């Protein structure tokens, strides 16, 4: 008898759990049946009415339950979205299909006697069995609820906490400990319209619109400032690629599309979708297809090549600088930095405003939780982006953290222009410095990766490489320096057509042996036994990055002369010189800035998670490419090109003023 009395609390708890439901709405209505629950409020009375109607199998109540999320399928492997149906919740109060059919009126015409709203409940359900994504260690469960409109947020959250405290049996089996975080009614409220970022963005757009209208109404030449916003002339500049290196435009397009394919999956995972299928896809791309993330090296290589070649090709400037003492070149050096800074920063500011406004908007209307509050990050760290030093800080809490490469490029430009101005007076010293920097960088990269202990497991590789390696400007200097070395050889003329690679690896035999060694390293990494071989992984990372840089540079050199080029290089050069690449190549700067934001916005705008299907994501990647290039065309035509022309106008005015002062 005593044992039975001791077991009564346990039996009561088990009985209580057995009646608990995996449907949160069902548990909420059952809570109202308890005498201890406050049933006097309007919300409580309407929840009781909903429960009674559900017991009587009335259609409107069944629709409310059917619209609410229930069950926890695949929760252990990362799925956290049980959103139900927003449209079905609307059908509780509205004739949503009245223009579709006149049949089944017992279902469609049976409407609730009081109003219902669709809410989303965000729950932190911790368990030792649940898969966690390292980028967002706390993945919130999203549960859709179709509840009476009278249930205010505070009252509803109080009732939900009591409901979650009663655990069904499946919670006990999986050791789930659900805790309510917050609830939201996804709808446009417009609070972000009062933000400073929105006012600044609207002011900027209205100012650009006014200047654009004036430039197209007033005669051309009336004002040099207004001419910068003249749409027909900007379109002509955008379409004219006669002064461009054709292959470079093609390389930019290929690299930009490759990065978009990576970011479609990456920013889907980091924003909304941490299911096991998506994690498998992103690990497969980064670990087994490393050539795609390495496409970023193409941009650094091109930047280093153009910076050095443009400087050394300007013979008049070189002669003028050579005639002046080294100390007098400081003004020219600062002007070159100012010009580069003004080239990068205006669109960076526009992007920060767009990110802040867009994320603030989706905070209100999206059914999905915003894991990365970029609008808050922009408000706190905008000055890092404005100064182009964001790569020197933790990129997890940066505004538009994908712009770290622009900061690297600006810092490389500072170093490159310093060495180039020194080169005018001390060419041998600078050549030795550059070679020393490249060799030291290669050794540093190898030693750094080995010290990190990187393994071919995405979680380990992401944690170790991104925090200390991927965003490290010292590591990225390698391909920039290689681009500069090739540019120096190209401008000064290569002896007997030999490239810098020919000087390092003379003869076909040496090149063949080097190629065989590279292929051997790549083959060894495909073997599962070498997944944990840190030394082999470090060598492979450095080789792949260096190989991309060299391929890029040989394609660029083939643009000027195809002699002694292999068939593959000639074919690739002709392909990259296509007219479509020439137009799209001028959009790649804006494309690179805007495409991660567009990917995130589309994900936040969906009402459900997309499955990790290869065919679907391939189609999505194509669609994203078309949309991003279309948006980039508008932004380039109306913002980037006018800003660039204003920069050139400012720099030419400063040069004219300086020359006039010398004459006086």
Measured CA to CA, the distance from residue 370 to residue 79 in angstroms comes to 16
Say what the pLDDT of residue 301 is.
Answer: 94
- Cα torsion 369, 375, 380, 386: sign: positive
Token pair 């049976």 is found at 110
pLDDT, one tens digit per residue, over 480-530 is: 999 999 999 888 876 666 777 766 777 677 777 877 877 777 776 665 555
Token pair for 2: 């005593």
CB 303 within 8 A of CB 486: no
Token pair for 657: 């003023």
Least confident stretch, 196-205, 286-295, 380-389, 578-587: 286-295
Say what the pLDDT of residue 37 is.
Answer: 72
Q: Which helix (H) or strand (E) holds 124?
A: strand 116-126
Say what the pLDDT of residue 597 is.
Answer: 94
Rg, Å, the chain Cα set: 31
DSSP single-letter state for residue 564: T
Closest CA to 340 of 315, 307, 308, 363: 307
Q: Name 118's bridge partners.
A: 146
Please, which contacts does 223-226 make with residues 24 or more away whose CB atoms are closer than 8 Å? Answer: 224/649, 225/646, 225/649
- Cα torsion 436, 442, 446, 452: sign: positive
Strands 141-148 and 81-82: parallel
Question: Which pTM was predicted?
Answer: 0.87
Say what the pLDDT of residue 456 is.
Answer: 67
pLDDT at 31 over 60: yes
pLDDT at 415 over 90: yes
Say what the pLDDT of residue 16 is.
Answer: 42
Higher per-residue confidence, 475 vs 118? 118
Q: Which helix (H) or strand (E) holds 144?
A: strand 141-148
Measured CA to CA, the distance from residue 252 to residue 589 in angstroms comes to 9
pLDDT at 413 over 90: yes
206-226 mean pLDDT: 89
155-164 mean pLDDT: 90
DSSP single-letter state for residue 531: T
Say what the pLDDT of residue 76 is.
Answer: 66
Percent pLDDT > 90 in the chain is 33
End-to-end CA distance of the chain: 113
CB 186 within 8 A of CB 118: yes
Measured CA to CA, the distance from residue 571 to residue 437 in angstroms comes to 34
Measured CA to CA, the distance from residue 585 to residue 596 in angstroms comes to 18
Number of Cβ atoms within 10 Å of the Cβ of 283? 16
Say what the pLDDT of residue 527 is.
Answer: 59
Specify the 3-state DSSP secondary structure of 122.
strand
Q: pLDDT band at residue 101, thresholds of 50, 70 and 90?
A: low
Question: At 439, phi and psi to the nearest 5?
Answer: -65, -45
**DSSP string over 604-632:** HH-SSPPP--HHHHHHHHHHHHHHHHHHH
Question: At 144, phi and psi to the nearest 5?
Answer: -80, 140
pLDDT at 73 over 80: no
pLDDT at 40 over 80: no
Say what the pLDDT of residue 497 is.
Answer: 65
For the chain, what is the mean pLDDT? 82
pLDDT at 5 over 50: no
Domain ranges of the chain: 21-187, 196-218+251-655
Higher per-residue confidence, 221 vs 373? 373
Specify the 3-state DSSP secondary structure of 126.
strand
Say what the pLDDT of residue 372 is.
Answer: 84
pLDDT at 364 over 50: yes
CB 285 within 8 A of CB 262: yes
DSSP single-letter state for residue 180: E
Higher per-residue confidence, 322 vs 132? 322
Say what the pLDDT of residue 303 is.
Answer: 95
pLDDT, one tens digit per residue, over 596-612 is: 999 999 888 877 777 77
Measured CA to CA, the distance from residue 400 to residue 352 in angstroms comes to 7
Q: Name 144's bridge partners.
A: 120
Q: pLDDT band at residue 659, thresholds of 50, 70 and 90?
A: low
475-481 mean pLDDT: 90
Say what the pLDDT of residue 616 is.
Answer: 81
Q: pLDDT band at residue 21, thresholds of 50, 70 and 90?
A: low
pLDDT, one tens digit per residue, over 605-653 is: 877 777 777 788 888 889 999 999 999 999 999 999 999 999 988 888 8
Encode burial over 555-564: b for 16+ CB neighbours within 10 A, e otherwise: bbbbbeeeee
């Amino acid at each position: 008898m005593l044992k039975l009395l001791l077991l009564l609390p346990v039996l009561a708890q088990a009985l209580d759990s057995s009646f608990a439901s995996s449907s949160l709405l069902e548990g909420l209505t059952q809570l109202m049946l308890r005498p201890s629950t406050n049933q006097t409020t309007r919300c409580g009375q309407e929840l009781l009415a909903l429960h009674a109607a559900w017991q009587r199998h009335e259609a409107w109540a069944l629709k409310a339950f059917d619209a609410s999320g229930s069950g926890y399928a695949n929760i252990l492997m990362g799925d956290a979205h049980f959103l139900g149906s927003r449209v079905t919740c609307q059908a509780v109060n509205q004739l949503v299909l009245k223009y579709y059919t006149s049949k089944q009126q017992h279902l469609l015409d049976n409407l609730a006697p009081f109003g219902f709203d669709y809410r989303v409940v965000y729950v932190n359900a911790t368990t030792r069995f649940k898969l966690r994504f390292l980028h967002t260690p706390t993945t919130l469960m999203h549960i859709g609820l179709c509840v009476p409109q009278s249930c205010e947020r505070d009252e509803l959250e109080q009732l939900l906490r009591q409901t979650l405290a009663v655990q069904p049996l499946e919670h006990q089996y999986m050791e789930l400990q659900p805790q309510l975080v917050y609830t939201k009614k996804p709808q446009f409220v417009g609070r972000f319209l009062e933000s400073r970022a929105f006012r600044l963005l609207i002011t900027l757009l209205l100012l650009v619109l006014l200047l654009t209208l004036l430039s197209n109404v007033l005669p051309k030449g009336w004002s040099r400032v207004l001419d910068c916003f003249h749409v027909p002339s900007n379109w002509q500049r955008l379409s004219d690629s006669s002064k461009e290196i054709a292959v470079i435009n093609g390389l930019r397009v290929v690299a930009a599309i490759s990065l978009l394919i990576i970011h479609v999956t990456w920013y889907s995972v980091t924003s909304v979708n941490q299911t096991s299928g998506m994690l498998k896809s992103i690990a497969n791309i980064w670990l087994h297809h490393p050539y795609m993330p390495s496409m970023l090296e193409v941009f650094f290589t091109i930047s280093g090549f153009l910076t050095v070649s443009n400087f050394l090709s300007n013979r008049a400037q070189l002669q003028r600088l050579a005639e002046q003492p080294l100390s007098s070149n400081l003004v020219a050096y600062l002007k070159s930095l100012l010009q580069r800074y003004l080239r990068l920063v205006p669109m960076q500011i526009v992007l920060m405003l767009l990110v802040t406004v867009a994320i603030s908007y989706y905070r209100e209307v999206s059914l999905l939780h915003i894991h990365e509050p970029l609008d808050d990050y922009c408000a706190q760290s905008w000055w890092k982006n404005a100064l182009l030093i964001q790569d020197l800080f933790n990129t997890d809490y940066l505004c538009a953290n994908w712009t770290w490469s622009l900061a690297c490029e600006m810092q490389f430009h500072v170093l490159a222009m310093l060495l180039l101005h020194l080169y005018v007076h001390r060419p041998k010293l600078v050549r030795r410095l550059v070679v020393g920097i490249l060799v030291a960088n290669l050794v540093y990269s190898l030693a750094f990766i080995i010290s990190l202990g990187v393994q071919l497991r995405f979680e380990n590789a992401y944690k170790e490489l991104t925090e200390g390696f991927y965003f490290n400007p010292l590591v990225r200097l390698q391909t920039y320096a290689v681009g500069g070395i090739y540019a120096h050889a190209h401008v000064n003329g290569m002896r007997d057509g030999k490239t810098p690679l020919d000087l390092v690896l003379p003869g076909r035999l040496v090149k063949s042996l080097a190629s065989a060694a590279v292929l051997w390293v790549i083959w060894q990494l495909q073997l599962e036994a070498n997944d944990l071989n840190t030394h082999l992984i470090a060598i492979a990372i450095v080789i792949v990055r260096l190989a991309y840089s060299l391929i890029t540079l040989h394609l660029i050199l083939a643009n000027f002369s195809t002699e002694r080029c292999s068939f593959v290089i000639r074919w690739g050069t002709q392909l990259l010189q296509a007219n479509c690449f020439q137009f799209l190549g001028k959009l790649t700067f804006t494309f690179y800035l805007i495409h991660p934001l567009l990917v995130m916005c589309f994900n936040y705008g969906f009402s459900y998670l997309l499955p990790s299907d290869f065919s679907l994501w391939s189609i999505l990647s194509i669609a994203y490419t078309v949309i991003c290039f279309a948006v980039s065309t508008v932004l380039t035509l109306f913002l980037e090109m006018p800003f660039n022309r204003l920069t050139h106008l400012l720099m030419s005015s400063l040069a004219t003023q300086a020359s006039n002062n010398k004459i006086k």
